[in-house]
């Protein structure tokens, strides 16, 4: 079954000529894009690095000297997401300046373009609940940012939530995507239906993740930051999709804005070249469990963990081009 609440559209139905008004709109949304930290500065370059991992009594264990490069080029390879244990999708910026969604196969180490759209850019790939689509935010020719679905079988893309825009970030809970929509004000919404768009929060980070084996979706509330000597901390919160209630889970790791779940009680974040874990059901705070130091690379940002928890993919800043 398709995810709920979508309309379809063929990419060739877009107007081939953009009016002056549309160009103004496009420029406006590009400024928003820049403000949200999406558009890439020329000096920024990122690669994907894979670590072998194992589950042990103390949590996630990184196998020593297991680091392997998935990408190795001067450019933007970012936003990794496992669609199964052997395939990963990510955002890659092409030489022409547009961004496409790429699929990587760990078994044969081959790359496949999920999209090849020189006139558009796609970001933030994820797998839908039905397993038939890769979702992504597309920056369209008129400047709109909406959520699109790309069939795994390489069929025609389909537009989801056609009247909700501009979408900056999102996260799936079942077959509904919680959407961070830019505007006055910016807001995170949970679209139960076309006329039931539940607002959740107004200032959130880019990481929105369903909490395993719960009826909640988690996000970082940035409305009340706390400055510390080690960096800024925010509040990790969750939205109960059944009760329509907010839950405070704890404080984020200072200086970090991306998280992933090991299970419903353990959350992972990174700071600098170090990986940390927090047991939300225990009063232990953030504990470092691994350090990743690779020649030519700086800090870790985004993370992705395979379904079997035997592969941890890191986004690391490339220092040598």
Half-sphere exposure of 108 (CA within 13 A, CB side): 4
What are phi and psi for residue 267, nearest 5 degrees? Answer: -125, 145
Running DSSP on this structure, what letter comes out for residue 23? H
Kind and range of the H or E element at 29? helix 20-35
For the whole model, what pTM was predicted?
Answer: 0.86
Residues 6+ apart with CB under 8 A from 309: 53, 54, 55, 60, 262
Running DSSP on this structure, what letter comes out for residue 1? -
Buried b (16+ CB within 10 A) or exposed e, 42-72: eeebbbbbbbebeeeeeebebeeeebeebbe
Confidence at residue 15, expressed as pLDDT on a 0 to 100 scale: 23
Domain ranges of the chain: 11-318
Please state, in angstroms and rounded to a whole number, the distance separating the CA atoms of residues 304 and 114: 19
Instruction: Encode pLDDT of 290-303 as tens digits.
Output: 999 999 999 999 99
Confidence at residue 96, expressed as pLDDT on a 0 to 100 scale: 76
Going by C-alpha positions, the residue among 254, 168, 231, 176 that lies closest to residue 205 is 168
List the chain residues with pLDDT less than 70. Answer: 1-43, 321
Could you tell me if 61 and 54 are in contact, meaning their C-beta atoms sit under 8 angstroms apart? yes
CATH architecture of 11-318: 6 Propeller (2.120)
């Amino acid at each position: 079954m398709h995810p709920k609440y979508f309309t379809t559209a063929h990419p060739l139905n877009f107007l081939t000529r953009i009016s002056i008004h549309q160009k103004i709109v496009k420029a406006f949304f590009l400024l928003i894009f820049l403000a949200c930290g999406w558009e890439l500065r020329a000096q920024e370059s990122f690669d994907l690095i894979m670590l072998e991992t194992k589950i042990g009594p103390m949590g996630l264990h990184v196998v020593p000297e297991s680091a392997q490069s998935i990408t190795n080029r001067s450019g933007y390879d970012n936003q990794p997401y496992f669609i199964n244990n052997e395939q990963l999708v990510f955002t890659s910026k092409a030489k022409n300046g547009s961004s496409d969604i790429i699929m990587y196969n760990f078994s044969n180490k081959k790359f496949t373009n999920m999209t090849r759209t020189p006139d558009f850019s796609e970001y933030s790939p994820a797998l839908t609940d039905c397993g038939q689509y890769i979702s992504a935010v597309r920056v369209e020719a008129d400047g709109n940012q909406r959520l699109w679905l790309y069939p795994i079988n390489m069929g025609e893309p389909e537009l989801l939530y056609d009247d909700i825009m501009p979408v900056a970030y999102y996260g799936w809970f079942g077959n509904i995507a919680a959407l961070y929509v830019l505007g006055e004000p910016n807001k995170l919404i949970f679209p139960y239906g076309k006329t039931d768009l539940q607002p959740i929060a107004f200032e959130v980070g880019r990481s929105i993740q369903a909490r395993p084996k719960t009826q909640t979706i988690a996000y970082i509330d940035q409305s009340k930051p706390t400055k510390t000597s080690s960096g800024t901390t925010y509040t990790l919160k969750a939205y109960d999709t059944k009760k329509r209630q907010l839950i405070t889970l704890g404080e984020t790791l200072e200086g970090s804005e991306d998280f992933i779940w090991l299970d419903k009680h353990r959350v992972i974040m990174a700071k600098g070249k170090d990986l940390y874990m927090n047991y939300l059901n225990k009063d232990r705070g953030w504990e470092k469990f691994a350090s990743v130091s690779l020649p030519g690379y700086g800090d870790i940002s985004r993370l992705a963990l395979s379904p079997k928890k035997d592969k941890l993919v890191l986004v690391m800043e490339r220092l040598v081009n």
